[in-house]
Structures are given as C-alpha cells and as structure tokens.
Chains A and B, each alone.
Chain A
Amino acid sequence: MKAVRVVSGPVAALDRASVDTDQIIPKQFLKRIERTGFGEFLFHDWMKDPDFPLRRPDFAGAPILAAGRNFACGSSREHAAWAIQEFGFQAVVAESFGDIFRTNASKNGLLTVVLPAADVRELLDSAPAAATIDLQAQTVALPSGRTASFEVDPGVRERLLNGWDDIALTERRAEEIDRYEAERERRGPNVLAL
C-alpha cells in the first residue's frame, strides 16, 4: 500500500444521504477476480443521469469526494473502495460512513474523513472549491480558510502514513497468536472433519 499524508485539491460533491455500496459499484461488476478494472463502472446506474453530480465537468479529476451522511452503507464489497480510488478519488469526507466500507478504504490507502455536519456542508456547497486534508496533523483546511480537525484511529493513521501492510504487521505477532492457540486450546469447529 502506498503511504498517504496529504490530499489536496478540488472537491467533488455528492449531496445524498445513505449512499449504499450497491450504487457505488453494482453487482454485475463483482464477477471480476482481479482488484482492478472497477473505476469505469463507479456509480454505473446513476452516471446514466445527465444531471448526476459526478458528471459535472468542474468536478472532473477532483481528488476529494464530499458526500452525505452514512456514506457507503450496506454490502461489504471492497470493490466499492477499489472503484472510488481507481476513479481518481484519494479521500472521501462525510459526516459518517458505513463501518465495513471505512475499514475497506483504510486497507487500500483511501482516506475517509469524518467531519461535523456544518463542515461537510461547507465542502458540499462550495465544491469544487479546493480543500487540503493533512492526515499527519489530522486537519482539513476548508475553502473558507477555516481549519477543521478530525479523529482517526491511531493504528490506522500510523499504517496509512507509513503505507504498511496489515498482514505483515500481524505476522510480527505470530508468537502471540501461537501462544494464544496453544494456551486457549481453541475449541470449535473442525470443518475438515465434517
């Protein structure tokens, strides 16, 4: 995973609440067995509408997406994070996110930033005015010149800042896992014995 520290540039606005991952990447595109090739199908059905915000020419190439609350709820498909990233977004800002999407995004270096409703509103209303997200400082420089700060899980932040691979990090704790398995004598299904 590539390290992320600062995402800066124009903001694209999708002012809708509870956008679900079925809209972000419809199911007919989940048949691929690769991690790539999803960007062109982002919001496939909504993109057919000429008035769909992400078709606005002034939003083209924006690295930041601002969205309504509960963004990317529903299905666990990581393809949603892959599609958003491949389309060109490096960060999504919203009042809240679907839990699973948020984790998926973090595994791919796609920033998800939770801001208070008023700050998200400013981004939505002033888009494509540019903003700057600084993960190190945990701040967002808003178009008005104000700076908002945001919370992020310290572990996730460190991983993103360093571009560390999760599995490699856990593998360093192999002894701990071995000990746990040995000590606790984990009961529970041996599915191979079925």
Chain B
Amino acid sequence: MLDKVWADHEVGEGLLYVDLHLVHEVTSAQAFEGLRLAGRPVRRPDRTLATADHNVPTGPGDPDDLSRAQLEALDRNCAEFGVRLYALGHRRQGVVHVIGPELGVTQPGMTIVCGDSHTSTHGAFGALAFGIGTSEVEHVLATQTLPQRKPRTMRIAYVGTLGPGCTAKDMILGTIGQIGTDGAAGHVIEYAGDAIRRLSMEGRMTIANMSIEAGGRAGMMAPDDTTFAYLDGRPGAPPDFDAAVERWRGYASDEAAVFDREVTVDLADVAPQVSWGTNPSQVAPITGAVPEPADETDERALAYMGLTAGTPLRDIAVDRVFLGSCTNARIEDLRSAAEIVRGRRVSEGVRAMVVPGSAQVKAQAEREGLDAVFQSAGFEWRGAGCSMCLGMNPDILQPGERCASTSNRNFEGRQGAGGRTHLMSPAMAAAAAVTGRLADVRELVA
C-alpha cells in the first residue's frame, strides 16, 4: 500500500507531493513568518486547512496572553495567506485529526501532513499521513512538496478475536507493549487482519493515531467498505463518489506484497490494558500488577509514578479522569464511555471531564443526550480541543495527581508537571471515574 501511494505522489527523485496539509496554531506561526520574510505565498491554499486546537480553552474563561497571541497569529496568518480556518467558536472547529476525517477531506490514497506527530491518525483511511516539524510546515506551505526518503515497511497482523471489554485502544496499547516505543522506528506500519477489518473507522483511527508511540513514521490500513461508508455524504467527499470508490479500492496491498518486517499480535493475549509507567510501552492487563522494574528506565518510571512493584493495578486510586484527545474523543468513544457511566456517579473526590474531539462531535453527543448522562454523573462537559492531552491550556494535573486518561502519552509531566498519567480506553476511563480507581470494565457490564 505504501508503494502505491508513494509512486502516485513522487514528483521526482526524493520529492513527494502533499495532497492535504493540516495546520494548527502551535507549530505554524514560525512557518508563516518564514514565508513572510522570504516573500513567498502559500502555493495551494485549496489544499491547506487550519484549525485552533492545541492551545484553546475548553471551559469558561479566556486564554492567557501568550495563548491569545498565538491564536491571533493563526487568525492573521490564515487571513493574509488565504488559508481556510476553523477558529475557536466555529461549528467545524476541533482537534485537527478529528476534523479532517469528519469533514471527509481525509481520503484513501492521499498524502497528508501536519505539524503534529499524531497525523498518523489519517492512515486509518489508507492515506500516507505523517507528522512534520515547523521547517517542513513552511516547506509544504511554499512548495506543496516535501523532500522525503521512502521509509521501510512493517506489517502488524492481528490474529484471534478481541475479548469482551476490549477495544481498539487495548489492541494498540498491547501492541506497543509488545514491540516497544521504537519498535517501528523508520517504518510505515500496515495494520492487517480480520480484527482490523471488523473495526469501525473510529477504532481504526485510535490504532493509527498511536503508530508514532511505537516510533512508526506512519500507520496505514487498507480502505474497504467501512471506509467508504464513513466518507459517503461528508462535505469534503468527492462529488463523483462511486468513481472515487473504484479508484480507492486499488490502494489495498496486493496478496503477494512483501514487507521489510512482519509482526504478529495474538488478540487472545490482550485484556483491557492500562499503562503503569511513563512511556506507552509500559502497559499491563488490568488484571495484573505493577511489574518488577526490568531496567533503569522502569525504575525511574515507577519512582515518578509513585508506584511499588507488585501492587495490583486495581488497587490504584485516581484523582482525575480525562476523556478526550485525538486518540479517543470521537462520537463512538463518548458513547462507549457513556454506557458505563449511565446510572452511576463519579466517585467521591474524583474530578472527571469530557472534552469532545470537535464541535461537531460535541453537537452530535448533545443530540444523543450523552452530555446529560455525563453531567448528571458529575463529569464536566467541555468544548472541543486538545486540552489535558498535552496540557497547554489551563486543563492540567497538579503535581502528584493521578489521572485515568484516554489520551496517547503518559510521558513525565505531559498532563502537567508532576502529574501521573495512566492510559486506557474510554470505557476503562469511565470505569475508573465511577469506581475511583483503576478498574476492570468487564466487571461493570455484567
């Protein structure tokens, strides 16, 4: 699949054409400034789409001065260079990796870049999508191309069936636990197997999203009827949709495709996962215990997390719950969490919040009454943004606070200096909210 998309976009030796460039406020200001200084225009504003997400407030109150300056810079830059912007308050605003797919501008066979490492999300549609730095953002704005060397390929094949209570998040956390945070370094991953084909687009996006947490350059999945049904009728979908589908079908890897590396993940071994450390490979099944440290990295992680080897994971109490991020804040994620929350209350002393992935996800959830489910249980119901996934806005953990989070990174300080993050699925985070500790969601759905 990588070969086909690559061949289709090679302008010439080592130069790749970019079909869609997504832009946000945090990694673009210096790039636009570079264009301005050099007197360069944006080559293809029609292939460039901007939104404000990383640094926007999701609750009442105004952004601080620096944040406001950054958001205003995005407004100014998009106006000056003719780039379409869905700013804070727009009905289409949201986390950049949520809105691309929901608008239908993310399509199979495309090359998609964005100044954000979780751009890999869009690979769920059979696109080649990867994160870039600010200098490359400037390069794409100016030329609509990127100097690129073709990465190696790696197929991750899932065998077996996903057990009850397990989700796409558990599949990818289990996979990273198996191959490590640099297990896919230098490679584009292709996720394969019946378990992938059975997933919804939301589930597929959760998996592709975390490709970078295994070090992967990108993650791709073959486009199929699920992909096409998701895109049909969306505003950005091609007008001649049937012809597009015919073309898109051709991007799937051929039977005889050869990969530089092959990995098999047996889903029979995957139970609902939670992370216990400070990188996403430090995960364990919820039925397990905090492991004995294997090396210095593990020792540092346990010290930072305030955990002792041998402690059952289900004995770990949480202070905060965060349901959000480009990994798990789509409508299906909110539905699966709401199912656990319905008729229950957030545990005494726990502060829980839901941050929908986009203004459209929020509106959809409200039409379904999910906001009432969450709010009557004691969750805060917020506006769309990256929020506490990276804690640039005021949504952060206090030092020592422990959080059950549906996001993608449990790095030290990621959600706030001294904060302790446990990664898990939306249903597992909901279970943690209502029990006040890391909990096995399977015991709540009996």
Contact = CB atoms under 8 A, between A and B. Distances in A.
Interface in A89-105: 96, 98-101, 103-104
A102 B116 CA distance: 15
B411 A103 contact: no
Interface string B106-133: 0100100001110000000000000111
A146 interface: no
A26 to B, nearest CB: 6
A187 B103 CA distance: 16
Interface string B123-155: 000000001111110110011110101000000
B27 A76 contact: yes
Contacts of A192: 45-46, 84
A27 B143 contact: no
A76 B67 contact: no
A155 B365 CA distance: 49
Given A22-B412, A173-B12, A98 B133 contact: no
Contacts of B446: none
A167 B40 contact: yes
A139 interface: no
A70 interface: yes
Contacts of A190: 46-47
B66 A27 contact: no
Interface in A10-30: 16-18, 20, 22-23, 26-28, 30
Nearest to B103: A194
A33 B135 CA distance: 13
A20 B279 contact: yes
Given A18-B279, A27-B390, A33 B132 contact: no
Interface residues on A, range: 35 or more
Contact of A70 (B27, B131, B182, B414): B182
Interface in A173-194: 173-174, 176-177, 180-181, 184, 186-194
Interface string A29-43: 011111100000000
Interface of B: 8, 11-12, 14-15, 17, 19-20, 26-27, 29-30, 33, 38, 40, 45-49, 54-55, 66-67, 69-70, 73, 84, 92, 103-105, 107, 110, 115-117, 131-136, 138-139, 142-145, 147, 149, 181-182, 185-186, 212-213, 215, 217, 235-236, 238, 244, 279, 295-297, 300, 390-392, 409, 411-414, 417
23 contacts: A22-B413, A22-B414, A23-B411, A27-B390, A30-B392, A31-B67, A70-B182, A76-B116, A77-B26, A78-B134, A99-B185, A99-B215, A103-B132, A103-B133, A104-B134, A166-B135, A177-B143, A188-B47, A188-B110, A191-B46, A191-B105, A191-B236, A192-B46
Interface of A: 16-18, 20, 22-23, 26-28, 30-35, 45, 69-70, 73-78, 81, 96, 98-101, 103-104, 107-108, 153, 155, 166-167, 169-171, 173-174, 176-177, 180-181, 184, 186-194
